[in-house]
Structure 1
Amino acid sequence: MSPSILLPYIYGLDLSKNEFGNDQQFPISLQEMCNLRWLELNRTNVNRLPEFIGTLKSLEKLSLSHNNLRDVPFCLNNLTSLRSLSLRDNHVSHTQISARLFNNPDLSILDLSHNNLQAFPKDIENAKGLIVLNLSSNQIEQIPSHVFVSLFELVHLNLSDNKIDTLPAQMRRLTSLQVLILNNNPLIHAQLRNQQHVDLLEFPSGR
Structure 2
Amino acid sequence: MNKLLLLLILGSIATFGQQRVYQRDKFEKEILSNTLAEKQYPSATRSKDKNNEIQNLALDERKINNDFMKAAIKKNSQYISIVESKNMPIEIFFNKNGEVDYLVYGFSSFDNRVFNGKKFLFDTLNTEESKVFYEVAEDFCKKYKCQLKGVENNYSFYIGLGFGKGQKKMSKKYISTIEMAENCTNPDTVKTLMLNKLYLTNFPEVVLRFKNLEKLDLSDNYIEQVPSKIWGLKKLKFLSLSGNYVDYTNFGFKRNKHLKDLNLQYTGMSKMPKSLKRNRRLEILFVGNNPIKFTDNDFNRMKRLKALNLYNVRTSTLPKSIGKLNNLEELDLYYNNLQFLPIEVCRLANLKTLALSNNQLWNLPVEIAKMPKLQTLYAHHNRLNSLPNLPNLKFLDVGYNLFKVFPEQIYELQNLEEFDITNNQVEEVPEKLLGLKKLQKVYIRGNVFYKVNEKSKELSKLVADLEQRQVLVR
**In which range does the TM-score fall when normalised by the shorter chain?**
0.7 to 0.9
Contact preservation (8 Å) 1:161, 1:184: yes
- Residue in 2 aligned with 1:92? 246
Larger displacement relative to structure 2 (178-187 or 131-140): 178-187
Shift, 1:184, TM fit: 1.5
Shift, 1:49, TM fit: 2.5
Indicate which of 63, 83, 103 corresponds to 2:217: 63
**Are 1:202 and 2:363 an aligned pair?**
no
- Residue in 1 aligned with 2:256? 104
**CA distance in 2 between partners of 1:55 and 1:122 (Å):** 29
- Residue in 1 aligned with 2:268? 116
**Are 1:134 and 2:286 an aligned pair?**
yes
Contact preservation (8 Å) 1:156, 1:178: yes
Q: Give the counterpart letter for 1:173 in structure 2.
A: K
Answer with 1 or 2: which has the greater Rg.
Answer: 2
Q: Following superposition of structure 1 onto structure 2, how do residues 1-207 of structure 1 map, counting pairs within 5 Å? A: 13-15=174-176, 28-30=182-184, 33-100=187-254, 103-142=255-294, 144-188=295-339, 190-191=342-343, 192-203=345-356, 204-206=359-361
Q: Give the counterpart letter for 2:311 in structure 1.
A: S
In percent, how many aligned pairs have the same letter? 26
**CA distance in 2 between partners of 1:87 and 1:31 (Å):** 26
**CA distance in 2 between partners of 1:169 and 1:147 (Å):** 9
Question: The residue matched to 1:77 in structure 2 has which SS?
Answer: helix
Q: Give the counterpart letter for 2:201 in structure 1.
A: N
1:65-92 deviation digits (Å, cap 9, x = unpaired): 1111113233312111100001111112
Question: The residue matched to 2:299 in structure 1 has which SS?
Answer: helix
Question: The residue matched to 2:285 in structure 1 has which SS?
Answer: strand
For the aligned residue pairs, the C-alpha RMSD in angstroms reads: 2.4
Q: 1:48 to 1:74 in 2, by over 3 A?
A: farther
1:80-138 deviation digits (Å, cap 9, x = unpaired): 110000111111243242232xx121100000112211111231112121111000111
**CA distance in 2 between partners of 1:50 and 1:31 (Å):** 17
Equivalences, count: 187
Give ranges in structure 2 of 5+ residues lacking alignment.
1-171, 362-381, 383-474
Contact preservation (8 Å) 1:31, 1:55: no
Q: Give the counterpart letter for 2:348 in structure 1.
A: Q
**CA distance in 1 between partners of 2:269 and 2:250 (Å):** 9
RCO (CA 8 Å, sep 6+): is it higher in 1 or 2?
A: 1
Question: The residue matched to 2:188 in structure 1 has which SS?
Answer: coil
Q: Give the counterpart letter for 1:153 in structure 2.
A: R
Contact preservation (8 Å) 2:237, 2:260: yes
Q: 1:87 to 1:79 in 2, by over 3 A?
A: same
TM superposition score normalised by structure 2: 0.37
TM superposition score normalised by structure 1: 0.80
Give ranges in structure 1 of 5+ residues lacking alignment.
1-10
Shift, 1:183, TM fit: 1.3
Shift, 1:26, TM fit: 7.9
Shift, 1:42, TM fit: 1.1
Contact preservation (8 Å) 1:93, 1:118: no
Contact preservation (8 Å) 2:298, 2:319: no
Contact preservation (8 Å) 2:203, 2:225: no
**CA distance in 2 between partners of 1:44 and 1:78 (Å):** 23
Contact preservation (8 Å) 1:141, 1:165: no
Question: The residue matched to 2:174 in structure 1 has which SS?
Answer: strand
Question: The residue matched to 1:154 in structure 2 has which SS?
Answer: coil
Shift, 1:52, TM fit: 4.0
1:151-192 deviation digits (Å, cap 9, x = unpaired): 111010001111222212221111110110111122245232
Q: Give the counterpart letter for 1:187 in structure 2.
A: L
